[in-house]
Amino acid sequence: MELSGLLAVILITVLAGYLHTVSGFGIGMIIIGVASGLELVSVATLVAVVSLVTLVNSAVALPGKLHHLDRRHLLALGLGIVPSIGLGVWALNWLSVSAEALLMLMLGALVFYGGLSVGLRPRPRAAVSSSAGFAANGVMTGLLAGMFGMPGPPVIYHCYRQPLPTETIRLLLIACFAMTSGVRTLYVGAAGGLDAQVWLLALWTLPAVALATWAGRRYPPPCSAVLLRRVAMLTLMVIGVGLMLDGSLALWTRA
């Protein structure tokens, strides 16, 4: 990888990490969306790196709070996540080789939906969903985690519809992201996908995320949380539209 490309990925990571710290959304989607849209690194490599970053961040956030974790619903999510991640990784590898334009279109749609979901306010359910409902949501979560390393939108929306304490939901999501990142990393590592380029990018992006997190906490922007959510939402939606246009044009050209 050329030095200019590496520096560009690091800069994107810093900006994404800062925005994620001050708004709570978007680090994986911004890194993967912008870097892949600029064709700096392959989607497969970026997803592997983001999985490692997410795994480390989740591992730091969970210790000392595991006794508050909703283990029953986490297990139900895991029953859907673990097998479907393998299918998602396989689909990513297949699309990367045989249908790159379609992959870009799908990635753009997911990033756009992720941005849109930031602005959605789920209406709480009257009762907590059944374990089967969590497992079914886990299947979709695992597929997206396997393909794009972004399990967020469906599981976030599903969990925030549950009539559960906010802290319980937050820890459930952190544990879910740790699970998806860990399982995906095991799948990719077993297939030999954690090559030198993945480790090189991880070596640089982890300190970049740490720096951005520190800066976001130390020097938050002088604006409201509502405005920050809107900035995150619009940023992700613009990135998503750009990726969808690139994918659509590529499909049109090849047609």
Helix/strand/coil (H, E, C) string of 112-177? HHHHHHHHCCCCCCCCCCCHHHHHHHHHHHHHHHHHHCCCHHHHHHHHHCCCCCHHHHHHHHHHHH
How many domains, in total, are found in the chain? Answer: 1
Query: Token match 């030999």: residue?
Result: 192
Average pLDDT over residues 179-206: 89
Tokens representing residue 238 in the block = 């613009």
| 191: CB partners within 8 A, 6+ apart | 89
pLDDT in tens, 32-59: 888 888 888 888 888 899 888 878 777 7
pTM of the predicted structure, to 2 decimals: 0.80
pLDDT at res. 224: 75
Mean pLDDT of 175-188: 89
* Strand, coil or helix: 223: coil
Mean pLDDT confidence for 109-124: 77
Residue closest to 213 by CA, chosen among 49, 61, 21: 21
Average pLDDT over residues 138-154: 85
Give one DSSP letter per residue of 41-62, joined into a string: S-HHHHHHHHHHHHHHHHHHHS
Tell me, what's the pLDDT at 137? 92
Task: Indicate the pLDDT class of residue 84, thresholds 50, 70 and 90.
Answer: very high
What's the domain range around 110? 3-254
Average pLDDT, the chain: 84
